[in-house]
A = this chain, B = another copy of it.
Amino acid sequence: MLSALDLARRVESGELTPARLVELCADAIAEREAEIGAFVTLDLDGARRTAAPPAGKDAPKVAAKDLPLRGLPVGLKDIVDSADLPTEYGSPIYAGHRPRADASIAALVRRAGGNVIGKTVTAEFAHTDPGKTRNPVKPSHTPGGSSSGSAAAVAAGFVPVAIGSQTGGSTVRPASYCGIAGYKPSFGLLPTVGMKCVSWHLDTVGLFAAGIADVAFAAAAIAGRDLRVDRSPPASPRIAVLRAQPWPQASADMQAALDMAARAASGAMARVKDIQLPPVVAAAFRAHTTIHGYEAARSFAFEYDRHRDKLGKSMRELIETGMKVTVDAYDDARRTASRARQALAEMMSDCDVILTPSAPGAAPEGLRSTGNSTFNRLWTLMGIPCINVPGLADDSGLPLGMQVIGRFGADRATLEAALFIESALARRK
C-alpha cells in the first residue's frame, strides 16, 4: 500500500515529484486493475498533465508540490460530480453523464493539491447493488460497499488517498473488509454538495488511506483543519468497549478480535471499560432505517418516476419501502435520533471513544453482496466520527476492522485514539 504521509514527506523533501507519484500509481494499476476493477474511469494522462503543468503564463501560481496534499493521486467515488470525467452514480440511468461542475469535495481535493486520477466504482447510487470490484486481499471476496472502488484502490496500492461516502456503513465497512483506514468525519465537517444525495440527514463524505496517520493527514489537508496525528505520540485514551449490540452479534472471529484490541489498548496503558447502550440509543438504530427510506424515496423521485425500469432491485426496494413510511413515523424517527444524540453525549462524557467491531465479521465470499451495515448505521445517524482501525485478521488472512467512535466535533481526539489502538495492535505482533 502507498502511505500518503510517507509519499507527501518525500515530495516535500524533493525525493519524489508529483509526476513520479502518478507513475507509481500507474505501475500498480497496470499490474492489478484488470483483476480488481476499482475504477469506472481512469484518467492517467489527465493526471500526468496536472502533475507536470505547462510552464509559462498558463502555469499555476502555486505548484501542487507546495500545496498540503503535495500532488498525491486521489480516487473519487463515482457519486462525486466531476466536470472533467464522467459521473455515472453506478446507474445505467446516468451512462456517460458529464456534470457541469465539480462537487465541492472534488474542488477541495484539487485546491489542497490532490491529483484526481479517476472515478472509483460505487454500488448503484451508493446503496447495495454491487459493482465489479473485488477485494484486493482475496479477490474471491467482496471489498464491501458502497464505496467499493475507493477502498479497493487504496488496499491494492493504486492510490494513497480515496474519497468515499457513508449513509449506512459505506466507508467503515469496506475499510474493514479491505484492511485499511477509513474515516467518516462528524456530520457536516466536509461538504456533500455535488455528491448524489441519498439521505440528507445521513450522507457523509468518507476518506480512505493506508493507515490512521495517513487518513488524518489527508483529512487535515482537505478540510483545512488541525486533524494531523503524526507529529507527536497519541495521548492515552479512555476507551469504552461495546460488546453487546442491539442488533445481530458479530462473528466469533470478530468478537475475539475485539477482545484482542481491548487487551492491546489496555496493555498500552489506555483506560478501558465495558459499556452498554441506553435504550433510546438502541431505538435510534431502527430510526436509521425509517429516515434512510423516507429521504431516499424523495431524493430519487425523478429516477423512480421516470426511469423505474432501470433501477436495481435493492434501490427499488429502498425507495418503495420509503414511500410507505408515514410523515408521522419519519418525524418520530427524527425526534428519537435527536434524543439519542443527547443520551450518547452524556454517556460519553467520561470516555474519549467507543470501541466496537466495524462489521459483523470479515468480508463475505462472492461479489453478489457488499456485506452488512448493521454495525455502522446507528453511528452514522448520530453524526459522530467513526474510524476503521486496520491491523487484525482471521486465520485465512481476511481483515477484521475495529471501529473507533468519538464525540461529535471531537474528530482530532478520535483520530488520535484510533492511532493509539493501531499502534498498540502493531506492537503486539
Contact = CB atoms under 8 A, between A and B. Distances in A.
A191 B299 contact: yes
A327 B185 CA distance: 15
A349 to B, nearest CB: 17
Contacts of A331: 409
From A100, A102, A306, A409, name the one whose CB has the most chain B CB atoms within 10 angstroms: A100
Nearest to A301: B107
A104 B193 contact: no
A225 interface: yes
Contact of A100 (B94, B111, B305): B94
A26 to B, nearest CB: 26
A191 B295 contact: yes
Interface string A183-211: 00000100111100100110000000000
A303 B191 contact: no
B188 A200 contact: yes
B298 A104 contact: yes
Contacts of A107: 301-302, 305
Interface string A337-377: 00000000000000000000000000000000000000000
A316 interface: no
Interface in A217-231: 223-226
A366 to B, nearest CB: 32
A100 B104 CA distance: 19
Contacts of A103: 302
A101 interface: yes
Contacts of A409: 331
Contact of A197 (B94, B102, B193, B305): B193
A108 interface: yes
Interface string A289-304: 0000001001101110
B104 A301 contact: yes
Contacts of A197: 193-194
A88 to B, nearest CB: 10
Contacts of A223: 327
A110 B298 contact: no
A132 interface: no
Contacts of A94: 100
A97 B81 CA distance: 15
Nearest to A83: B302
Given A97-B100, A188-B201, A193-B298, A224 B303 contact: no
B299 A111 contact: no
Contact of A192 (B83, B100, B111, B200): B200
Given A327-B225, A331-B409, A409-B331, A101 B302 contact: yes
Contacts of A110: 305
Interface in A55-95: 83, 94
A173 B299 CA distance: 28
Interface in A140-195: 188, 191-194
A193 B192 CA distance: 11
15 contacts: A97-B100, A102-B302, A104-B298, A104-B299, A107-B301, A111-B301, A188-B200, A188-B201, A191-B200, A191-B298, A191-B299, A192-B200, A194-B197, A224-B327, A226-B327
